[in-house]
Amino acid sequence: MMTLQPVDEIFASWRRCMSSGVDNTTSVINAGINEEVFQTALNESKLLGTIFGDLGCDFDDLSINNNLAMLLVNSEGVLLKKNAVGS
Protein backbone atom coordinates (compact mmCIF):
# COMPACT_ATOMS: atom_id res chain seq x y z
CA MET A 1 0.00 0.00 0.00
CA MET A 2 1.38 3.38 -1.03
CA THR A 3 1.01 6.33 1.31
CA LEU A 4 0.99 9.81 -0.15
CA GLN A 5 2.87 12.63 1.48
CA PRO A 6 1.03 15.99 1.84
CA VAL A 7 3.16 17.54 -0.91
CA ASP A 8 2.26 14.69 -3.25
CA GLU A 9 -1.44 15.14 -2.49
CA ILE A 10 -1.27 18.90 -3.13
CA PHE A 11 0.57 18.34 -6.40
CA ALA A 12 -1.96 15.68 -7.48
CA SER A 13 -4.81 18.07 -6.66
CA TRP A 14 -3.13 20.85 -8.65
CA ARG A 15 -2.74 18.53 -11.66
CA ARG A 16 -6.43 17.53 -11.48
CA CYS A 17 -7.43 21.19 -11.38
CA MET A 18 -5.25 22.01 -14.38
CA SER A 19 -6.60 19.08 -16.39
CA SER A 20 -10.15 20.20 -15.53
CA GLY A 21 -9.46 23.69 -16.85
CA VAL A 22 -9.22 25.56 -13.55
CA ASP A 23 -7.35 28.81 -14.14
CA ASN A 24 -5.42 30.11 -11.13
CA THR A 25 -4.92 33.51 -12.80
CA THR A 26 -8.61 34.39 -12.92
CA SER A 27 -9.82 37.11 -10.60
CA VAL A 28 -13.48 36.03 -10.63
CA ILE A 29 -14.22 33.31 -8.11
CA ASN A 30 -17.98 33.07 -8.59
CA ALA A 31 -19.75 34.07 -11.76
CA GLY A 32 -23.08 33.29 -10.08
CA ILE A 33 -26.07 31.36 -11.33
CA ASN A 34 -29.56 32.48 -12.15
CA GLU A 35 -32.42 32.08 -9.68
CA GLU A 36 -34.07 29.23 -11.61
CA VAL A 37 -30.90 27.12 -11.61
CA PHE A 38 -30.39 27.88 -7.91
CA GLN A 39 -33.97 26.87 -7.02
CA THR A 40 -33.61 23.64 -9.01
CA ALA A 41 -30.40 22.78 -7.15
CA LEU A 42 -32.05 23.63 -3.84
CA ASN A 43 -35.09 21.45 -4.61
CA GLU A 44 -32.88 18.52 -5.60
CA SER A 45 -31.25 18.72 -2.15
CA LYS A 46 -34.41 19.32 -0.13
CA LEU A 47 -33.75 16.53 2.41
CA LEU A 48 -30.18 17.70 2.97
CA GLY A 49 -31.46 21.26 3.36
CA THR A 50 -33.86 20.13 6.07
CA ILE A 51 -31.12 18.25 7.91
CA PHE A 52 -28.83 21.26 7.53
CA GLY A 53 -31.50 23.50 9.07
CA ASP A 54 -31.94 21.13 12.01
CA LEU A 55 -28.19 21.08 12.62
CA GLY A 56 -28.07 24.85 12.37
CA CYS A 57 -29.96 25.33 15.63
CA ASP A 58 -27.27 23.46 17.57
CA PHE A 59 -24.51 25.04 15.51
CA ASP A 60 -25.50 28.64 16.33
CA ASP A 61 -24.21 28.49 19.90
CA LEU A 62 -20.95 26.88 18.83
CA SER A 63 -20.31 29.31 15.97
CA ILE A 64 -20.79 32.41 18.14
CA ASN A 65 -18.02 31.34 20.51
CA ASN A 66 -15.62 29.88 17.94
CA ASN A 67 -16.03 31.95 14.75
CA LEU A 68 -17.20 28.96 12.70
CA ALA A 69 -19.33 28.72 9.59
CA MET A 70 -21.24 25.78 8.15
CA LEU A 71 -21.86 25.57 4.39
CA LEU A 72 -24.13 23.26 2.39
CA VAL A 73 -22.73 22.80 -1.12
CA ASN A 74 -24.02 20.38 -3.74
CA SER A 75 -21.82 18.13 -5.91
CA GLU A 76 -21.54 20.85 -8.57
CA GLY A 77 -20.21 23.33 -6.03
CA VAL A 78 -23.38 25.43 -5.75
CA LEU A 79 -23.66 27.03 -2.31
CA LEU A 80 -27.17 26.11 -1.21
CA LYS A 81 -27.23 27.35 2.39
CA LYS A 82 -24.93 28.81 5.00
CA ASN A 83 -25.00 29.14 8.74
CA ALA A 84 -22.63 31.57 10.41
CA VAL A 85 -22.77 34.38 12.91
CA GLY A 86 -24.83 37.17 11.39
CA SER A 87 -26.14 35.11 8.47
Number of domains making up the chain: 1
Q: Which of 46, 43, 27, 26 has its CA nearest to residue 35?
A: 43
Per-residue pLDDT at 80 exceeds 60: yes
Classify residue 59: in a domain, yes or no.
yes
- β-partners of residue 83 are 70
Supply the DSSP symbol for 29: S
The whole-number pLDDT of residue 48 equals 85
pTM: 0.51
Classify residue 40: in a domain, yes or no.
yes
pLDDT digits (tens, 9 = 90+) for 48-64: 888 888 877 777 666 66
**C-alpha to C-alpha distances, 27 to 6, 30, 67, nearest whole angstrom:** 27, 9, 27
Classify residue 12: in a domain, yes or no.
no
Distance CA 38, CA 50 (A): 16
The residue range of the domain holding 75 is 35-87
pLDDT digits (tens, 9 = 90+) for 10-37: 888 888 888 887 776 766 555 677 888 8
